[in-house]
Amino acid sequence: MSEPEVLCRIEGRVGRITLNRPQALHALTTRMCRDITDALLGWKDDPAVELVLLDHSGERGFCAGGDIRMLAESGQGDGSAAREFFFTEYRLNELLFRYPKTTVAIMDGVTMGGGVGLSRPCRFRVATERTTFAMPETGIGLFPDVGGGWYLSRMPDHIGLWLALTGARIKAADCELIGVATDYVESAKVAELKAGILADPSGAETLLTELEGDAGRPPIAAHQDEIARLFSGDSVEAIVAALEGAGTEWAAEQLKILRTKSPQTMKVAFRQLRLGARCATFAENMAMEYRIGARVVQKHDFIEGVRAVIVEKDNAPRWNPASLEGVTEAMLDEIFAPLPADQEWSPLP
């Protein structure tokens, strides 16, 4: 018998969820999302569970995202398995967002895509020197989902839009600066942190303060004014023009990165963050993201992005449309349009 891909159990007064798919960097499957949801629902009103702890087995990272290969294979067919995954995952994201008990996520290592969807709603989000955060979806023709429209649009100085468009990878100090992480603890002390939480969940906040380390100076701080200025445009084309005219090495590097991304996906992400910023509830944002996901997963750019970056690894995707100008408002309207009533996403009751 192979081990379950996620381990859900009660230890003392703690509901503990351990991602257990190390060979795939704990990439989420529909079954994993369902199992985590079932555990959370079971503990929600259980007086024996005081706190929920999310962590991972092995050394390599918390969670690299969703099962991209499965999504692409489904997208090449009727897309039903991909839609089922998004529907289930987004319900889990929204459940965590409004969960009534204290939640702690240990983001020790890679935390991307679906891993952000699990960790970002938690009350305490612990980064270590091994943490690498990113929303790299524009590089494979997808979009920064799992609540990206809500979280990224609410970051200061257009940093969320910069992260969404470029897929930039950031470390612990930057994660603290922009609110992705609430605490920094050295990885050597993570075992002590977990043991302390399991022994006394009510003292979690005090323990985090005691074990808090210094993540150092956040590199983003050196470019924060530049990001605020250059990523403030009212379209992706305006941002590109601002970068072209900036005349700095950093701006030139961002421009080079953007030119490797899917033009369609960049415009999708731009509109997603604009709309997400105006959503009154997290559930409203997730309904929007489900509409996008249900359609984008069957688009050429996603199938092609996965081929180029994940399957054949030639890193030479042929995007269609190939330019920002080729991505029309009508194309975007179709991606964002409401689904038939019986196909719309809804949160768990």
Q: Which region holds residue 216: left if phi is over 0, alpha if psi is between -120 and 50, else beta?
A: left
Told to judge if 12 belongs to the known catalytic residues of this protein, a careful annotator would answer no
How many Å from the N-terminal Cα to the C-terminal Cα in the chain? Answer: 35
The answer to whether residue 39 sits within a structural domain is: yes
The answer to whether residue 64 sits within a structural domain is: yes
The answer to whether residue 91 sits within a structural domain is: yes
Report the pLDDT value the prediction gives residue 1, as an integer from 0 to 100: 59
**Residue % of the chain over a pLDDT of 70:** 100
Q: Find all residues with CB under 8 Å of 228, minimum gap 6, and list them.
A: 157, 158
Told to judge if 137 belongs to the known catalytic residues of this protein, a careful annotator would answer yes
Report the pLDDT value the prediction gives residue 164, as an integer from 0 to 100: 98
Q: Which of 66, 141, 196, 305 is catalytic?
A: 66
Relative orientation angle of helices 80-97 and 68-76, to the nearest 10 degrees: 140
Find, among 265, 183, 267, the residue nearest to 233 by Cα: 267
Give the pairing type, strands 14-19 and 61-63: unpaired
Q: Which of 145, 157, 174, 186 is catalytic?
A: 145
The answer to whether residue 348 sits within a structural domain is: no
The answer to whether residue 349 sits within a structural domain is: no
The answer to whether residue 1 sits within a structural domain is: no
Confidence of residue 227 (pLDDT cuts 50, 70, 90): very high
Cβ count within 10 A of residue 322: 12
Is the pLDDT reported for residue 161 higher than 70?
yes
Cβ count within 10 A of residue 180: 24
Is the pLDDT reported for residue 213 higher than 80?
yes
Q: How far apart are CA 150 and CA 329, in angstroms?
A: 22
**What would the pLDDT profile of 332-341 be if each residue is shown by its tens digit?**
999 999 999 9
Rounded mean pLDDT of 282-301? Answer: 97
Integer Rg of the chain from CA: 20
Is the pLDDT reported for residue 118 higher than 80?
yes
Rounded mean pLDDT of 150-177? Answer: 97
CATH label of the domain that carries residue 220: 3.90.226.10
Cβ count within 10 A of residue 303: 20
Is the pLDDT reported for residue 29 higher than 90?
yes
Q: Find all residues with CB under 8 Å of 57, minimum gap 6, and list them.
A: 7, 18, 19, 20, 22, 26
Told to judge if 145 belongs to the known catalytic residues of this protein, a careful annotator would answer yes
Report the pLDDT value the prediction gives residue 250, as an integer from 0 to 100: 97
Is the pLDDT reported for residue 83 higher than 90?
yes
Please give the structure tokens belonging to residue 328: 């029309």
Length of the chain as a residue count: 349
> Number of structural domains, the chain?
1
Name the residue range of residue 60's domain. Answer: 6-343
Give the pairing type, strands 14-19 and 6-11: antiparallel
Is the preceding omega at residue 321 within 30 degrees of 0, hence cis? yes
Report the pLDDT value the prediction gives residue 59, as an integer from 0 to 100: 84
Q: Which of 15, 114, 293, 305 is catalytic?
A: 114
Q: Which of 94, 137, 157, 176 is catalytic?
A: 137
**What would the pLDDT profile of 12-23 be if each residue is shown by its tens digit?**
999 999 999 999
Report the pLDDT value the prediction gives residue 8, as an integer from 0 to 100: 98
Rounded mean pLDDT of 118-132? Answer: 98
pLDDT mean across residues, the chain: 97
pTM for the model stands at: 0.96
Q: How far apart are CA 342 and CA 56, in angstroms?
A: 36
The answer to whether residue 30 sits within a structural domain is: yes
Rounded mean pLDDT of 144-163? Answer: 97
Confidence of residue 320 (pLDDT cuts 50, 70, 90): very high
The answer to whether residue 330 sits within a structural domain is: yes
